[in-house]
Amino acid sequence: MVICQARKEGALACASHTGEDFHRDIVRKWLTWIGLSNDDLECGAALGRESLKEEIWFLEEISAY
């Protein structure tokens, strides 16, 4: 169960901006476990379209190695 929960938390750590109720429940439990709350969260700036293209290019280049 611990491994399964860690995978869920790891997936959420890499997630984007939307989620379902069960995703939010996992995040609430995670925040409580580390002594934080929803008030401690801040959404970072999203990359623009050109920045995303550059990021994809970079990832494709390094994956070739």
Q: Is the pTM of this model over 0.75?
A: no
Q: What is the pLDDT of residue 1?
A: 43
Structure confidence by residue, pLDDT tens digits, 5-59: 667 777 777 776 677 788 788 888 888 988 998 888 877 666 666 777 777 777 8
Q: What is the pLDDT of residue 2?
A: 46
Residue 36's Cβ-count burial label (10 Å; 0-12, 13-18, 19+) is exposed
